[in-house]
A and B are shown apart, each in its own frame.
Chain A
Amino acid sequence: MAELVAIGAGIAVLTGIGAGIGIGIATAKAADAVARQPEAEGKISKILLLGCALAEATAIYGFVIGLLIILFLG
């Protein structure tokens, strides 16, 4: 039983893949944009922060689910 719970929590944390890819793409594009237009850095970093916060949300949901699985099933 404990092994199954651990596997379930591990699967839930796989949502981190999406967040990692999303934040990676966003940061790459932001670096690109700053290299092209250094004067727009303020605006770019603001948008980057928003995008990262939204992309990160999926990872957080996965983490919350994983935690709930360990706490209530384990």
Chain B
Amino acid sequence: MEKLAESLMEELNCETVFTIPVLGGIGVSESVVVTWIIMAFMVLLSLLLTRNLKVHGISKRQAALEYCVTWLNNLVEGMLGKEAKEYAPYLVTVLLYLGVSNVIGLFGFKPPTKDLNTAAALALMSIVLIEAAGIRKKGVKKWAKSFAEPVAVVAPINVLEIFIRPLSLCMRLFGNVLGAFVIMELIKLILPVGLPLPFSFYFDIFDGLIQAYVFVFLTSLFIKEAVE
């Protein structure tokens, strides 16, 4: 029990890998480094895949790429609705990043989403985007007025929602990834050979991708609500 709590605590803490020696030292934690690796991977992949694109006589690679991009765009635009489809590229980016970072545990990296700070940053970006979309569509005056809808009595609850939404987005992502990780650790403790395989399919792959989808789905739902 003591040992388990200790090892869990160790996993919960995100160690500082190195420090940038400016302004009294900026700590760079492990999740940031893994995020850089993911970024490098995605940028390299997109550079390789988008070389020599043609209009006529397309290659198989381009056909597959176009199919994937159209599918992802349609998926997110379907969730956003007609009014807010210009936000689709950002949400597709978040979807790709979360999808890759949730399954990167399979390759021996620590998933960045297991760090509470990553989940909190993503949730903050989401809530800023949601409110900015509302302001952009309605103007400041109408946006401020929209808090008092449908009746003025519920205004405090609507204001509270600005804080609750990112909190629940952040906790849902972090809790799910951490929960899957803890359960996998416990299973490995029982029997490290063979037994973790079927569970890994569910907890590492399926659950991670579902959580990426849920995060983007909820954000787009809130944006759709904000621009209505």
Contacts and interface: CB of A to CB of B under 8 A. Distances in A.
A70 B4 CA distance: 10
A49 B218 CA distance: 11
B173 to A, nearest CB: 9
Contact of B176 (A2, A60, A67): A60
B9 interface: yes
Contact of A71 (B9, B168, B176, B218): B9
A49 B214 CA distance: 8
Interface residues of B, number: 21
A53 B171 CA distance: 12
A61 B168 CA distance: 9
Interface string A35-69: 00000000000100110010011001101100100
Contacts of A53: 172, 214, 217-218
B221 A57 contact: no
Which secondary structure dominates where chain A touches chain B? helix
B178 interface: yes
B1 A74 contact: yes
Nearest to A6: B1
B172 A57 contact: yes
Contact of A60 (B1, B12, B171, B217): B171
A60 B221 contact: no
B5 interface: yes
Contacts, number: 43
B99 interface: no
A34 B213 CA distance: 22
A74 B3 CA distance: 11
B5 A60 contact: no
Contacts of A57: 168, 171-172
Nearest to A62: B175
Contacts of B176: 60
A61 B171 contact: yes
20 contacts: A46-B217, A49-B210, A49-B214, A49-B217, A50-B214, A50-B218, A53-B214, A53-B217, A56-B172, A57-B171, A60-B171, A60-B176, A63-B179, A64-B174, A67-B8, A67-B182, A70-B5, A70-B8, A71-B9, A74-B1
Given A50-B221, A61-B175, 18 more contacts: A49-B213, A49-B217, A50-B217, A53-B172, A56-B172, A57-B171, A60-B171, A60-B175, A60-B179, A61-B171, A63-B179, A64-B178, A67-B8, A67-B182, A70-B5, A70-B8, A71-B8, A74-B2
Interface of A: 2, 46, 49-50, 53, 56-57, 60-61, 63-64, 67, 70-71, 74
